[in-house]
Amino acid sequence: MKKLFETYDLSRRELRNRFVMAPMTRARRPDCVANEETATYYRQRASAGLIVSEGSFVSPEAQGYIQVPGMWTAEQVAGWKLVTEAVHDAGGTMFAQLWHVGRISHASFQPDGQAPVSSSSQPVDDPRFKVFAYKDDGSQGRIDPSPPRALETDEVARVAADFAAAAGNAVAAGFDGVELHAANNYLFEQFLNPAINDRCDRYGGSAENRARFVLETIDAVIAEIGADRLGTRFSPYNQDPDKQDTGWVEETYHYLADQLAARKIAYVHFNDSWTTGEPALDDAFLKTFRTHFPGTIILAGRMTFDRAEQLVREGLIDLPAFGQLYIANPDLVERYRDDVVVVKPDSDTFYGGGSKGYTDYPRAVDQPSS
């Protein structure tokens, strides 16, 4: 039998297979509260061994995208409970991804129209990173982030506490655990990356200092819900190679790996950015990281079945994560198992809108035979 169809022990939770549905923003909730349709969307995909939810903002300050369900109010917790109950009823396991975008935000999202927060006051100058917001004419679309302000040293603990509170909310909502979103140039990575982080306090300079914020947050979350309910997502080499030096990456992430191994968290989830048209996280990186972190490793990024099977068999990763394929193939596991055609999603319906491109993709068994 193929390795991907085997069960897997994730921190004493038996996953029905090794397939992971990667977190994907879908922007379908104008009130920022998950609802019955959100529950339907995830229930349709519950044959995955593990589902990681779309990023859920931990506070109003954390927002950078419209129509995304949050995790800071009682109403939001009740909405997410609909989702977790649906997934569990279908036999699935689900972690909530907790998110703070940092400087990739806009003043229109911020309390009292203030500047977004970050590790520094450096503005975003990479055209890849935009804010999904309401434009001046009322339409939805991508706009430039507002210039940020640097968090004061004594403010950092407040943000860590927001994550811990959101983690407690996620468990109250029925999630099996949470994943800290420390990837894709959002707030945690803005501290990890010395090209952005120019601080002179205990959160800047050395790899240990730049990693301090994410580790303090991890410790706060562990104190709230336990290490076995916690994973984290990273994206090493997710910088534009023409603009940024990546010589700091291995030292920083190996240090993090050692620290996370000591804390015995549930997993580390990598998002491979493929910035040069090839995997940024090559076999050598994964092999070396494994020597620092012996726990569960998840990898996402242009994943195919054959690549996933090979990486698992070679012991470079434990669980492969599939993103866009899960949008159009709610029964992705069954399609691969039964050798059924895997279809491509409609990119025009990735963000915003209604049921079209969200809950209307059929399972293979429901499609009429030709």
Q: Give catalytic residue positions.
A: 186
- CB atoms under 10 Å from CB of 134, counted, come to 15
Burial of residue 14 (number of CB atoms within 10 Å: 0-12, 13-18, 19+): exposed
Helix axes 249-263, 212-225, angle to 10 degrees: 20
Cα–Cα distances (Å) from 107 to 48, 59, 149, 262, 323, in that order, read 37, 15, 11, 39, 30
For the chain, what is the total number of helices (H) and then of strands (E)?
11, 14
The whole-angstrom separation of Cα 259 and Cα 339 is 41
Q: Are 76 and 160 in contact (CB under 8 A)?
A: no
Helices in 55-115 by DSSP H: which ranges? 74-89
What residue type is assigned to position 106 of the chain?
Answer: H
Q: Nearest to residue 71, comparing CAs of 81, 83, 56? A: 56
The whole-angstrom separation of Cα 175 and Cα 13 is 13
3-state secondary structure of 208: helix
Q: Are 35 and 29 in contact (CB under 8 A)?
A: yes
3-state secondary structure of 121: coil
Q: Are 123 and 80 in contact (CB under 8 A)?
A: no
Structure tokens at 234: 């990273």
Helix axes 74-89, 156-172, angle to 10 degrees: 50
The whole-angstrom separation of Cα 141 and Cα 65 is 10
What residue type is assigned to position 327 of the chain?
Answer: I
The whole-angstrom separation of Cα 163 and Cα 99 is 8
